[in-house]
Structure 1
């Protein structure tokens, strides 16, 4: 699978605490033995030429399976919610080249490569692109460069939901045949979902 458009930088959010899971789910094992975060990062690296991951300040990237050479963003306010992690990533990449930022979640390892490539192909500077599976909006969401400053100012635990609601004219949903866009890991039982 060739890398997606070099104009899209992937940002994997992995600084959350996964309190509902009961342990650090980033190191939980999928049925094939691969750690959850490592599987999600490998998928992103296959599909995007440039990938960065948002971690907590105290995290050991090697221990979490972050490949050498992958960009690392530390989020001091990770405990305050996903909005803070996303903002930290957007600030860190503010001067990076690229037309769009693909925001992936570190607990979604079952995304199809073809879905990521198709989303990246539709990225534009003034567009927000996301997948839709059987009528339901999924992840990842690709934010055109015009929205990066707004991402850099997010707070709280709602991520960028308000940004999508404020800019319906910029939103493009892509129907995909990929249940992986809806499958995340919230509890140990979810590890076998893929």
Structure 2
């Protein structure tokens, strides 16, 4: 059964342009599971189960092939990635705004490459609740998490981000138009920051 959203009104952005210095000298995106898949490839596979339109945000000098990405993967380059997540998001939303294939798109789902444990059901719920005028994000155990879905009304503002704060400043400025949805999914908080965090895959095959 196809679990993808029924429409093409949502594009998913997988943010994978960071340096991940807490992971040590290795490139976290290349961290390999026992089955040979990379961390980034696993995240992409999970996201692609729900969203038919996916873009992976990489640094300008990244080669997608060693990262385990299929050749058909659509990539957005983030020339300002070293300035932080906010700068990468700005690069990504500039690209989305200028993409003629997305003129009918209403929502962008922002996901982090090191969060592969978010449940498909959670992403489906968020997609159904989203629209062009709202920011939607999940909440578990009274804490908000990822992904965050930004309606198209907020895209121009996201193109102006800088630094490492990400989209939190936009959310704070528009709390009246931000909806938090309770989900039974601890994966919205589970990321891979350190090498030892890879052991979580033993519990999440």
TM tier relative to shorter chain = over 0.9
How far the C-alpha of 1:65 sits from its partner, in A, is 1.4
Once the two structures are superposed, what CA deviation does each residue of 1:25-47 show, in whole Å capped at 9, x if it has no partner? 00112355421101001111111
How many angstroms apart in 2 are the aligned matches of 1:66 and 1:33?
A: 13
User: 1:93 is paired with a residue of what secondary structure?
Assistant: helix
User: 1:48 is paired with a residue of what secondary structure?
Assistant: coil
Matches within 5 A, 1:43-192: 43-95=46-98, 96=102, 97-192=104-199
Once the two structures are superposed, what CA deviation does each residue of 1:60-94 show, in whole Å capped at 9, x if it has no partner? 11111122222111111111100011111111111
How many angstroms apart in 2 are the aligned matches of 1:108 and 1:87?
A: 20
How many angstroms apart in 1 are the aligned matches of 2:16 and 2:196?
A: 20
How many angstroms apart in 1 are the aligned matches of 2:185 and 2:96?
A: 28
How far the C-alpha of 1:192 sits from its partner, in A, is 2.0
TM-score by length of 1: 0.96
> Do 1:28 and 1:35's aligned partners in 2 also have CA atoms closer than 8 Å?
yes
Q: CA RMSD in A?
A: 1.2
How many angstroms apart in 1 are the aligned matches of 2:39 and 2:186?
A: 17
Once the two structures are superposed, what CA deviation does each residue of 1:145-170 show, in whole Å capped at 9, x if it has no partner? 00000111110000010110000111
How far the C-alpha of 1:6 sits from its partner, in A, is 1.9
| Structure 1 moving runs of 4+ over 3 Å | 30-33
- 1:2: which partner in 2? 3
2:22 paired residue among 7, 20, 25: 20
Please list every run of 5 or more consecutive structure 2 residues that lacks an aligned counterpart in the other structure: none
Larger radius of gyration: 2
TM-score by length of 2: 0.91
